[in-house]
Structure 1
Amino acid sequence: MADPETLPSPSASTDSSSPPPDAWAAEYRRLLPQWESMHDSSKIAIPISISRVNQFDAARLDVEMSAMLKEQLVKVFSLVKPGLLFQYEPELDAFLEFLIWRFSIWVDKPTPGNALMNLRYRDERAAPITGKEVRTGLEGPGLSVSQKVLYCISTVGGQYIWSRLQSFSAFRRWGDSEQRPLARRAWGLVQHAEGLYRASSFFNLLLFLYGARYKTIVERILKARLVYESPNMNRAVSFEYMNRQLVWNEFSEMLLLLLPLLNSSSVKKFLLPFSKDKSASSSGDEADCPICRSSPSIPFVALPCQHRYCYYCLQTRCAATSSYRCARCNEIVVAIQRQGSS
């Protein structure tokens, strides 16, 4: 039987297995970084990717829509004095752009191109980051009143002022003026401003291709971003037919460029051995002109091969090239002579 003094007491075993009094504080300090990281992750905005092609296509469709409206408006003034409408072309473009802005962006609706591409403008400054309202990342209010007004001033007013300034400076010949240094200096400022704008537009294009956020400088300054209007709708324009049309147009232009450079008689001689009615062509009427395939009213012969031709056919071929070869025997025609004459 064991000695009672060597057996552990119940109180001693309980004290050795119980955690220390500050164990909860140590565990809290250990799990606090994980809890803070999970809490902070909910504040990160949902990354969304808007197709760059859709944004470019929407801008192109808006330009085409404005051109169609301008064409219809020009037809209205077709009976007016010629050249009168050309003087007010910047005002006409600004008026059409203002109409598109008034009935689209001002009333919180997408432009025609954006509507076809399922896009809308969103105020990126007021876009929600966290909360129950964020589900797809496309949520957010439209443009504010100040953004709409500044957008109209910068796009419609800016384009109008720039076009008028260019036409006025060209009409006054600021660049050719040598007696007025002020005009020459103003022309230099206009050229520098144009160069600076083009450089900044190019830099903004590179940023857009990288991040796909702001297509133009105005959108970047105003924080007006194009996002999808509906996450479950595709764009309404299909470019398959347009791509086929572009391919056929390029192919037809290539043919129109190359065909006049080809010698038809040489092509016929090259394809003659591959024709199926080779025997019929060889046994054809030697009295017919080999070019127009008709009986010559005033027959001429090619020298020295003595083959019959129409005078017009043979004369035009020999005048076109100095080394014309006979269409029958492929021999160089040295001269032409009327048949039966010495």
Structure 2
Amino acid sequence: MTLSSYVSRINQIDATQLDTEIYKILKNQIKEIARYSGPGKIDKWQAEVDVLLKFLIWKFSLQRGSSTFGQQLLNLQYANINQKKAILYLILSVLPQYLKDKLSNENISDRGMLIQSLKSFIDWTSNAVSFLELINLLYFLHQGVQSRVIECLLNLSSQSITTHRPRTIGYSYMTRELLWHGLMELFTIGIPMINFHYLKYTVTRLWRRPELVMRRSFPVMDAATKCAYCEENPILPSHAGCTHVFCYYCLQAHFTAMNVFHCPSCNAKLHAEDMKRYTIASAPSSDDEDSDDSFERMDNG
């Protein structure tokens, strides 16, 4: 086998898949057009519409040349196809599926025995073809030629239109690739080592004025309480020494990055060892709150 006639297995399979995808795209476009007509008017003619669509695809591909649309996209063609084989290709790819679709949509319970026997024969033939497709696929993976049963029946083999040449890789291309991979390794190693939480709070403290008023060290939570960091309803409410409540994961994420950080609302310094889950049982009593309020008033005075 010469170099120009060799076609890889993956290219042959891709050409078949591209033909199927092109057919599905055109079929979906026809459905979109038919959507604006009355319901059910196109459905009863769906088998005929599919035949017409496949005929048009065949007419503008195999009839005018020696390759399908999928093969044209991959620079492939059939080496030994002629007009007779092209017509047989159309009949074998359209007629069995048309009979199967037509009989499956018809109510044959009130038809004669001939129609029922024909439907049984079509179903048996369809199962046999599916089995042959499986056997042919295994043979194709071993030999690398004729990926479809219809190609075996018509003795069609694919070949490349262009001669395969080794790819030339220049020095500038290799340099760019080496620089790019070097930068990617630098970023993947260096970025996780940067403490973004510390940088964020260091920058925000530059223009935030510290609060000198003494506050209660225990928060009071009600229905309107929001997380001091994400400003959402606290999930697993937690606190760490100031009057504000945090989500557990918001607070734990900061303490994982650094042992001490400042509350984004009151600028109080919070320590990792002071982190606790908020519970109603641990909330201060009214007497404690009164004493804390009096202490705050005295401090303000």
From the superposition, tell whether residues 339 and 60 of structure 1 become closer, same or farther in structure 2 (CA, over 3 Å): farther
Letter in 1 for 2:98: Y
Q: Mean Cα displacement is larger for which, 196-205 or 78-87?
A: 78-87
Q: Return closer, same or farther for 1:85/1:339 CA change in 2, 3 Å cut-off.
A: farther
Match of 1:92 among 29, 49, 67: 49
The one of 257, 267, 276 equivalent to 2:198 is 276
SS of residue paired to 1:227:
strand
Q: Does 1:198 align with 2:135?
A: no
Q: How has the CA–CA distance of structure 1 residues 71 and 339 changed in structure 2, closer, same or farther, with 3 Å as cutoff?
A: farther
**Bigger Cα Rg:** 1
1:103 aligns with 2:60: yes
The 5-angstrom pairing of residues 282-297 of structure 1 reads: 289-290=226-227, 293=230
Q: Does the 8 A contact of 1:110 with 1:119 survive in 2?
A: yes
Q: Deviations over 1:171-218 (max 9, x none)?
A: 66x8xxxxx999998877665444332221111011111222211111
Q: Give the aligned residue type for 2:144.
A: A
CA contact (8 A) 2:238 2:275 kept: no
CA contact (8 A) 1:214 1:226 kept: yes
**Quick one: structure 1 residues 59 and 233, their matched pair in 2 at CA, closer, same or farther if it must change by over 3 Å?**
farther
Write the distance in 2 (CA, Å) between the matches of 1:59 and 1:200: 17
CA distance 1:209–1:293, shift in 2 (3 Å):
closer
Deviation string for 1:135-167 (max 9, x for gaps)? xxxxxxx3242x222111110222222233334
Per-residue deviation, 1:221: 0.8
- Structure 2 distance, partners of 1:182, 1:340, is 91
Question: Which residue identity is paired with 2:197?
Answer: S
Q: Residues 65-104 of structure 1: CA distance to partner in whole angstroms, max 9, x if unpaired? A: 2233233333433421133323333322221111011122
Contact map agreement 2:89 2:150 (CA 8 A) in 1: yes
Q: What does 1:64-143 align with in structure 2 at a 5 Å threshold?
A: 64-123=21-80, 142-143=81-82
Equivalent residue runs for 1:168-317 within 5 Å: 168=106, 192-231=124-163, 275-276=197-198, 289-290=226-227, 293=230, 308-309=244-245
Q: CA deviation at 1:50?
A: 1.6
TM-score norm. by structure 1 comes to 0.48
Q: Measure, in 2, the Cα distance between the counterparts of 1:184 and 1:290.
A: 71
Consecutive unaligned residues of structure 2, counting only runs of 5 or more, are: 167-194, 205-209, 220-224, 249-271, 288-301
Per the normalisation by structure 2, the TM-score is 0.53
Change (3 A) 1:289 1:75: closer
After superposition, the Cα gap between the structure-2 partners of 1:223 and 1:292, relative to the gap in structure 1 and judged at 3 Å, is same
Distance 1:232 1:302 in 2: 66
The one-letter amino acid paired with 1:86 is D
Structure 1 contact 49–212 (Cα < 8 Å) conserved: no
Instruction: Indicate the residue corresponding to 1:49 in structure 2.
Output: 6
CA–CA separation in structure 1 for the residues paired with 2:200 and 2:31:
60
Q: Superposition RMSD on alpha carbons, in Å?
A: 4.9
Alpha-carbon deviations, 1:300-320, whole Å to 9, x = none? x989x996559xx99xxxxxx
Deviation track 1:203-249 (CA, whole Å, cap 9, x = no partner) reads 10111112222111111011122222343699xxxxxxxxxxxxxxx
2: CA distance, partners of 1:339 / 1:87? 76
Distance 1:190 1:104, change over 3 A: closer
Q: Name the % identity.
A: 23
Whether the 8 Å CA contact 1:94–1:156 is kept in 2: the answer is yes
Distance 1:211 1:103, change over 3 A: same
C-alpha distance in 1, partners of 2:142/2:127? 23
Letter in 1 for 2:9: R
CA contact (8 A) 2:76 2:159 kept: yes
**8 Å contact kept, 2:62–2:68:** yes
The residue matched to 1:84 in structure 2 has which SS? coil
Hey, what's the Cα distance between the residues in 2 that align with 1:205 and 1:295? 57
- Aligned to 2:79, the other structure's residue is in SS state strand
Q: Once the 2 structures are TM-superposed, how far is the Cα of residue 292 of structure 1 from its aligned partner?
A: 5.6
Aligned CA distance change for structure 1 residues 81 and 209 (closer, same or farther; 3 Å) = same
Q: Which runs of 5+ in 1 are unaligned?
A: 1-44, 124-141, 175-179, 235-272, 315-327
Relative to 1, partners in 2 of residues 1:93 and 1:302: Cα closer, same or farther, differing over 3 Å?
same
Letter in 2 for 1:212: G
